[in-house]
Structure 1
Amino acid sequence: MTDKVFDNNQVSVAGEVISEFTFSHEVFGEGFYLLEVLVGRLSNSFDMIPVMVSERLIDVKGNYKGKFVEVSGQFRSYNRHEDSKNRLVLSVFAREIKVTDEESEAKPNYIFLDGFVCKPPVYRKTPLGREIADILLAVNRPYGKSDYIPCICWGRNARFAESFEVGGHIQVWGRIQSREYQKKTGEIDFEKRVAYEVSVSKLEYVNSEEE
C-alpha cells in the first residue's frame, strides 16, 4: 500500500549545490535540513529548487557548495504560519541523494503526480495571448496526509484543464520551476520571494470508471 502511495508522487532532479545545509525540523529524533540546488533548463536559464534531506542520508555538516547532486524523492508541501496567515511551503523530499564532482547526464528535472483537483482551475491569457491555467493538486500521502501542489498548464493543456471539476482525478508530468515575485509587506515596502510550481508538459484525466 505504501509503495503504491509513493508511486503517485515521483521526482528526480540533478544540479549544482548553491547553499549549505540549514536546519528545518526534527521528527522522532531525526533531523531534516534544506539544501538549495540550481537545476538547468533547456533554455539555458535555471531553477533554484529546495531539497529537504534527512541527516541519516548524508553528512549535513559537510559543505557541498559547487558540487553536483542527483536527488530522487517526492514534491511535498506544508503550511507555515506567518503574520497571522498560512503560507504554502514546497520542497523536494529526498529519498535518495548522490553527490558527484561532475554534472549529471541524467534527466535533470522530472516530476510525475497523480492526484485530485482542489479548487476550480483558473484559466487566463497573458498580454501576449499565451493560454495558461493554474491547478491546485492534492496528492495523497500515507497516514491520511496530502501534499498540495500548484501546477501550471499551457496552450491546449490549459484549455483542457479549464473544464476540470473539483475532486477530478488527474495525472500530470512535467518539471519543477521556480519563479521570483514581489510580496508587499507595507505601504511602499516589497519583499522578494520565490514561488515553486509544476510546469506541466503532459496532462491526463483519469476516468472514474477505470478506478
Structure 2
Amino acid sequence: MTDKVFDNNQVSIAGEVVSDFTFSHDVFGEGFYVLEVVVSRLSNSFDMIPVMVSERLIDVKQDYKGKYVEVLGQFRSYNRHEESKNKLVLSVFAREVKMVDELSENVKPNHIFLDGFVCKPPIYRKTPLGREIADVLLAVNRPYGKSDYIPCICWGRNARFAEGFAVGGHVQIWGRIQSREYQKKISETEFEKRIAYEVSVSKLEYLEEY
C-alpha cells in the first residue's frame, strides 16, 4: 500500500472464511459485501473479523467457506441508526484480497497501524484481578473530510501512559484487531449476543506537535 492517503490506517489480516457474502450497500453502482473471517491468535483462541469487499475485487457469488484469505486494507467505521440511537459499526475495508490454499508463514495474520487523534478523554480502569486497562477512541482521518472512529484498548504500562493523553492529541498505534462477545439486554428477560470490535494495542506513541 504505497498510496499516501492510506498510510495512516493500514491493516493486514489472514484467516479462514466462515461465511457467505452478505450485501451491505452500493456506491454509484458498485456493490459492497461483508465476509466473516476467523483469524487465529497465539493463545489458540481466535477473532471473528468482518471484511468489507467490493464486488469488483472478487466474485461475490462464489462460496469460499473453508478457504483461506489474505486481506490488505483499512479499519473503518460508520454509524448505523439502531433503536433510536447510533451504533458504531466496524469492519476491515479490503483494498487487496487474495484467496490462498494455505496461509504463508511470513504473512502477519493480524496487524494494524493507526495514526490519528484522541477524540474523547481516555478511560483508565483496573480489572478485579488488578490488570490495568485504558480505552482510547481514536479519530483517523480519511479523504474528503471523513474520519473513522476506532476504539482501542491499552494494557499495563501502555494503559498508564494513555491515561494522560489529551483530547486532540496526535497518537500512533500498532496492534491487532480483536473481537469480543457480550450480552446486549433487549428486555427485562431477554439478552442478545453481540460482537464488539476494537484494537488491542501492543505499542503506541504520543506525537508532540511543534
TM-score between the two structures when normalised by the length of structure 1? 0.97
Shift of 1:103: 2.5
Unaligned runs of 5+ in 1: none
Shift of 1:188: 1.6
Q: Decide which moves more: 64-73 or 100-109.
A: 100-109
For residue 54 of structure 1, what is the amino acid of its counterpart? S
| 3-state SS, counterpart of residue 193 of structure 1 | strand
| 3-state SS, counterpart of residue 149 of structure 1 | strand
Shift of 1:102: 1.4
The residue number in structure 2 matching 1:168 is 169
For residue 205 of structure 1, what is the amino acid of its counterpart? Y
Distance 1:104 1:84 in 2: 45
The residue number in structure 2 matching 1:40 is 40
TM-score between the two structures when normalised by the length of structure 2? 0.98
Report sequence identity in percent: 84
The residue number in structure 1 matching 2:85 is 85
Residue 8 (structure 1) aligned with residue 8 (structure 2): yes
The residue number in structure 2 matching 1:26 is 26
For residue 37 of structure 1, what is the amino acid of its counterpart? V
* CA displacement, residues 79-100 of structure 1 (integer Å, 9 cap, x when unaligned): 0001111000000000000001
Shift of 1:4: 2.5
Q: Decide which moves more: 180-189 or 149-158.
A: 180-189
For residue 118 of structure 1, what is the amino acid of its counterpart? C
Shift of 1:3: 3.0
Equivalent positions of 1:78-157 (< 5 A) are 78-105=78-105, 106-157=107-158
For residue 127 of structure 2, what is the amino acid of its counterpart? T
Distance 1:32 1:128 in 2: 43
Unaligned runs of 5+ in 2: none
| 3-state SS, counterpart of residue 208 of structure 1 | coil
The residue number in structure 2 matching 1:177 is 178
Q: How many residues align?
A: 208
For residue 85 of structure 1, what is the amino acid of its counterpart? K
| 3-state SS, counterpart of residue 3 of structure 2 | helix
Shift of 1:104: 3.0
Distance 2:67 2:23 in 1: 20
Distance 1:62 1:137 in 2: 36
For residue 103 of structure 1, what is the amino acid of its counterpart? L
Shift of 1:162: 0.3
Conservation of the 8 A alpha-carbon contact between 1:11 and 1:75: yes
Conservation of the 8 A alpha-carbon contact between 1:115 and 1:138: yes
| 3-state SS, counterpart of residue 52 of structure 1 | strand
| 3-state SS, counterpart of residue 159 of structure 1 | helix
Distance 2:63 2:4 in 1: 35
Q: Decide which moves more: 71-80 or 100-109.
A: 100-109
Shift of 1:187: 1.1
